[in-house]
Amino acid sequence: MQSPPHFARIGTRGSPLALAQANLVRDLLSEAHGVAKEQIEIEVFSTGGDRSQKDNTTLSEIGGKGVFTKEIDEALLAGRIDIGVHSSKDVATGLPASIELVAFLEREDVRDAFLSVTVKGIDNLPEGARFGTSSIRRAAQALRLRPDLRIVPFRGNVHTRLQKLLDGVADATLLAMAGLNRLDEGHRATAILDPEHFMPAPAQGAIGLAIRKDDDRLRELIAPLDHAPTHTAISAERSMLAVLDGSCRTPVGALTLNEDGQLTLKGEILSLDGQTSFRAVAEGDDPIALGEIVGRDLLNQAGPDWLAQWAD
């Protein structure tokens, strides 16, 4: 007997966190439409970012954010899958023309978590301690507070980085609290950082769903999963990032507050050593316009001479 066709086909990376996110999307789709989970297929892809996990490489060196989505995007365009499930902070601002991020699940904790097996916080690290991260934003923010720290490259999925910390590769690291929570590893956090002082990456903590622009069926199926306040916040932050991406490669932080539909977007750019930084803030109800305002403000503050160092 021939099995019935799949209700939807999900594409995801193969890390434990990515699989947890894909399974969450499957559960929500199943519940929203009353279909068996078995009718929603999950297909795992190895992306370029997953295959380039050497600690001595940075994201910009291996091709930027797109290295975590390229293979999934290609499968989506080819009709092999229907939905790409992504950590939104890993999605490049310039998507392929025929692909659209149409929905975002309710955002998890946006904050970064400090982890160490020896000290309680970044202030307690000894002089010259090894700080493990391959995020230029986290490195810059840590160095702004503690310029004496020695940055140690630190790549891999969440469990790999936790093990490296236990193995003594570094004295401390930062991880997204959202990822720890989704893996039931929130108890690993030694301290949770104030997002006003350690601004998260734009779109951190939000799961984004991508489809082909012309796929009206999937657009309707996904619509019940979209969390409007999260969608609004991510739109503002990605709008800001789009303005910055055109001019520089620099550590970027963003924080969006939403009170009764009134948005406050805060943005930050830093030098790699954290010793130079610029901040901007704006309020309004149009997320795209708000992001553009904050992005342009940051560029105007930094000026062309400072920005020239980030040119390709």
What is the tens place of the pLDDT at every residue in 136-180? 999 999 999 999 999 999 888 899 999 999 999 999 999 999 999
Are residues 161 and 23 both part of a single domain? no
Task: Give mean pLDDT, residues 42-59.
Answer: 64
In a domain, 242, yes or no: yes
From 192, 215, 240, the end of a domain falls on 192
What's the pLDDT score for residue 22?
A: 97
Instruction: Check if 297 is active-site.
Output: no
In a domain, 214, yes or no: yes
Are residues 49 and 147 both part of a single domain? no
**127 beta partners:** none
In a domain, 197, yes or no: no
Q: What is the DSSP string of 215-235?
A: -HHHHHHHGGG--HHHHHHHH
| Residue 127 pLDDT > 90 | yes
Are residues 222 and 232 both part of a single domain? no
Is the four-CA dihedral 98, 263, 90, 245 of positive or negative sign? Answer: positive
In a domain, 5, yes or no: yes
What is this structure's pTM?
0.91
Least confident of 23-27, 52-56, 128-132, 258-262: 52-56
Are residues 102 and 213 both part of a single domain? yes
**Which CATH number is 310's domain given?**
3.30.160.40
Are residues 137 and 16 both part of a single domain? no
**Which CATH number is 161's domain given?**
3.40.190.10
In a domain, 201, yes or no: no
User: How far apart (Å, rounded) are the C-alpha atoms in residues 288 and 12?
Assistant: 27
Catalytic residue among 73, 90, 171, 245: 90
Domain that residue 299 falls in: 228-312
Mean pLDDT of the chain: 90
User: How far apart (Å, rounded) are the C-alpha atoms in residues 287 and 264?
Assistant: 9
Are residues 155 and 97 both part of a single domain? no
> Count of CB atoms within 10 A of residue 285's CB?
12
Q: How confident is the model at residue 246 (pLDDT cuts 50, 70, 90)?
A: low
| Residue 66 pLDDT > 80 | no
Q: Could you report the per-residue pLDDT of 271-296, keeping only the tens digit for each?
A: 999 999 999 999 999 999 999 999 99
Are residues 1 and 95 both part of a single domain? yes
- Token pair, residue 237, equals 């932050």
User: How far apart (Å, rounded) are the C-alpha atoms in residues 65 and 158?
Assistant: 17
In a domain, 199, yes or no: no
Q: How confident is the model at residue 131 (pLDDT cuts 50, 70, 90)?
A: very high
In a domain, 198, yes or no: no
Are residues 21 and 101 both part of a single domain? yes
User: How far apart (Å, rounded) are the C-alpha atoms in residues 302 and 292?
Assistant: 15
What's the pLDDT score for residue 309?
A: 67
Q: How confident is the model at residue 240 (pLDDT cuts 50, 70, 90)?
A: very high
Amino acid code (one letter) for 225: L
Packing angle of the helix pair 287-307, 228-245 (nearest 10 deg): 30
| Residue 312 pLDDT > 80 | no
Kind of pairing, strands 150-152 and 130-132?
A: parallel
Are residues 13 and 96 both part of a single domain? yes
In a domain, 145, yes or no: yes
Number of domains making up the chain: 3
Task: Give mean pLDDT, residues 253-259.
Answer: 94
Are residues 183 and 305 both part of a single domain? no
- Token pair, residue 116, equals 């160490």
Is the four-CA dihedral 134, 138, 144, 147 of positive or negative sign? Answer: negative
Are residues 77 and 120 both part of a single domain? no
Are residues 82 and 159 both part of a single domain? no
